[in-house]
């Protein structure tokens, strides 16, 4: 169990990090950050948005060992400087304020998180039988471990939930990218909305806890954490049991949808694939989870490599959902419910293909960057 001193140190680090992030976000109005890997071989520019910097140093640079430097740029030179960095580095991560500027037509918008939901049939047996074979096996194994659940709306558990469950889980799973919730926010939810806390117990020990919200026709998994952030509880099926019990709970409450909560928009991400295999679909109606705004040079080797490694969900200019990838749709295994939620698939062409086909590097075909070609989905 975490000691009082360790908890105090963790909370202090959180507060210092929050102040640092606010300062870095503000700095984006005054200049440009350059983030490079330790060998300064690959880099990208950022307008001070710490959450984008952290995610893209992992995804774009594939490194946690990075260097960053800042330089002031006057406001009337900022746009031209950002376009110059796009050509030089391949990628510029914007802070979102450029949406109404002349850069708008060049901005690729990626949701920070997407909503995956499960449509529940009339009976639990019918739903279980529809699951993939390996997911059925995981559910059976989790049930056989003898876990049980309790539900509470007592606000006094909120502090323990954050300190012993959610905060260490977020820190261990996501590092500096993780965002934890506040105690007063959870208390307000429990008092003012149809919210409850699900506890997964092994004997009398609570090994996992999650905040669940009854909203409309959906039972939404909002926040979750396992005891002390220990991932062995995930390996031993506690998280699978948590979702399975949420499905049962939703049907008990007369609800027809399980909302699996915010999910990274990258198709190769482990969380996305884990949730998808509950027979989830993409919820196209909830697009309120923020977005990344990117300037890209499609011919840059680092950008080409980025799209070969990561296929992702993006928005077009009228907020329709598309997939962007360096691959054709047939190369990726996606559930029917995910494919039905998108308007199309854009594949980034290689420099040789772009040359052979005479593709323009500037925005075209509704995409903010050239070299993206549409791929058919009918054969999938």
Q: What's the CA gap between 273 and 369, in Å, rounded?
A: 28
Three-class SS of residue 264?
coil
The helix (H) or strand (E) run that includes residue 149 is strand 148-152
Per the listing, tokens 């939930």 go with: 161
Residues 6+ positions from 361 with CB-CB distance below 8 Å = 297, 298, 299, 354, 369, 370, 371
Residues 6+ positions from 61 with CB-CB distance below 8 Å = 35, 36, 37, 42, 43, 44
Contact assessment for residue 225 and residue 165, using Cβ atoms and an 8 Å cutoff: yes
Contact assessment for residue 178 and residue 171, using Cβ atoms and an 8 Å cutoff: yes
Q: What's the CA gap between 145 and 236, in Å, rounded?
A: 8
Average pLDDT over residues 297-320: 92
Q: What's the CA gap between 310 and 316, in Å, rounded?
A: 18
Please compute, for residue 195, the number of CA atoms within 13 A of its CA located in the half-sphere on the CB side: 17
Give whole-number Cα distances, 8 to 168, 211, 237, 257, in Å. 13, 24, 31, 39
Average pLDDT over residues 54-67: 87
The overall average pLDDT reported for the chain is: 88
Three-class SS of residue 164?
helix
| pLDDT at residue number 14 | 63
| pLDDT at residue number 63 | 82
Chain segment 76-130, per-residue pLDDT in tens: 888 899 999 999 999 999 876 554 468 888 899 999 899 999 999 999 999 999 9
Chain segment 177-206, per-residue pLDDT in tens: 767 788 999 999 999 889 999 999 999 999
DSSP 175: G
Q: What's the CA gap between 342 and 325, in Å, rounded?
A: 14
pLDDT tier for residue 3 given thresholds of 50, 70 and 90 = low
Average pLDDT over residues 166-174: 85
CA-nearest of 247, 236, 311 to 279 is 247
Q: Is 25 exposed, middle or buried (0-12, 13-18, 19+ CB in 10 A)?
A: middle
Q: Where in the chain is the domain with CATH 3.40.630.30?
A: 121-255
Residues 6+ positions from 32 with CB-CB distance below 8 Å = 45, 46, 47, 70, 71, 73, 78, 81, 82, 85
Contact assessment for residue 106 and residue 310, using Cβ atoms and an 8 Å cutoff: no
- pTM, whole model, 2 decimals? 0.86
Q: What angle do CA 327, 330, 332 make, to 5 degrees?
A: 70
Q: Which two tokens stand for residue 12?
A: 């202090």
Contact assessment for residue 267 and residue 323, using Cβ atoms and an 8 Å cutoff: yes
Q: What percent of the chain has pLDDT over 70?
A: 87
Residue 226, pLDDT > 60, answer: yes
Q: Is 319 exposed, middle or buried (0-12, 13-18, 19+ CB in 10 A)?
A: exposed
Q: CATH assignment of 121-255, given 3.50.50.60, 3.40.630.30, 3.40.50.300, 3.40.50.720?
A: 3.40.630.30
Q: What percent of the chain has pLDDT over 90?
A: 59
User: Phi-psi category of 203—alpha, beta or left, where left has phi over 0 and alpha has psi -120 to 50?
Assistant: left
CA-nearest of 152, 272, 255, 253 to 210 is 152
Chain segment 120-165, per-residue pLDDT in tens: 999 999 999 999 999 999 999 999 999 999 999 999 999 999 999 9
Which ranges of the chain does DSSP label H, i.e. alpha helix? Answer: 4-27, 50-59, 75-89, 124-130, 133-144, 157-160, 167-174, 183-192, 232-235, 238-252, 270-276, 301-309, 336-339, 351-357
Q: Which two tokens stand for residue 335?
A: 């559930």
């Amino acid at each position: 169990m975490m000691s009082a001193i360790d908890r105090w140190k963790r909370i202090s680090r959180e507060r210092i990090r929050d102040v640092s992030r606010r300062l870095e976000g503000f700095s984006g109005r005054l200049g440009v950050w350059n983030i490079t890997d330790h060998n300064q071989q690959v880099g990208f520019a950022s307008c001070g948005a710490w959450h984008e910097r952290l995610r893209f140093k992992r995804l774009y640079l594939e490194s946690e060992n990075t260097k960053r430097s800042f330089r002031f740029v006057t406001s009337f030179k900022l746009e031209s400087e950002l376009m110059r960095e796009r050509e030089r580095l391949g990628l510029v991560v914007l802070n979102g304020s450029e949406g109404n500027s002349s850069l708008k037509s060049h901005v690729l918008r990626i949701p920070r998180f997407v909503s995956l939901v499960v449509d529940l049939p009339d009976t639990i047996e019918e739903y279980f039988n529809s699951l993939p074979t390996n997911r059925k096996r995981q559910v059976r194994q989790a049930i056989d471990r003898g876990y049980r659940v309790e539900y509470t709306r007592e606000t006094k558990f909120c502090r323990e939930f954050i300190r012993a469950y959610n905060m260490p889980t977020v820190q261990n799973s996501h590092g500096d990218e993780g965002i934890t919730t506040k105690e007063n926010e959870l208390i307000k939810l429990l008092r003012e909305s149809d919210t409850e806390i699900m506890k997964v117990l092994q004997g009398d020990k609570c090994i996992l806890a999650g905040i669940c919200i009854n909203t409309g026709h959906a039972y939404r998994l909002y926040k979750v954490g396992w005891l002390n952030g220990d991932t062995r509880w995930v390996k031993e099926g506690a998280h699978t049991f948590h979702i399975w019990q949420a499905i049962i709970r939703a049907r008990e409450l007369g609800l027809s949808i399980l909302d699996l909560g915010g999910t990274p928009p990258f198709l190769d991400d482990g969380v996305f694939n884990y949730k998808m295999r509950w027979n989830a679909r993409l919820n196209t109606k909830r697009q309120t989870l923020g977005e990344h705004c990117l300037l890209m040079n499609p011919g840059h080797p680092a950008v080409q490599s980025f799209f070969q490694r990561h296929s992702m969900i993006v928005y077009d200019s009228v907020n329709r959902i598309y997939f962007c990838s360096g691959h054709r749709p047939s190369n990726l295994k996606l559930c029917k419910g995910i494919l039905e939620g998108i308007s199309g698939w854009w594949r980034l062409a290689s420099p040789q293909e772009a040359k052979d086909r005479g593709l323009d590097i500037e925005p075209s075909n509704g995409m903010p960057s050239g070299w993206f070609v549409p791929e058919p989905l009918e054969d999938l």
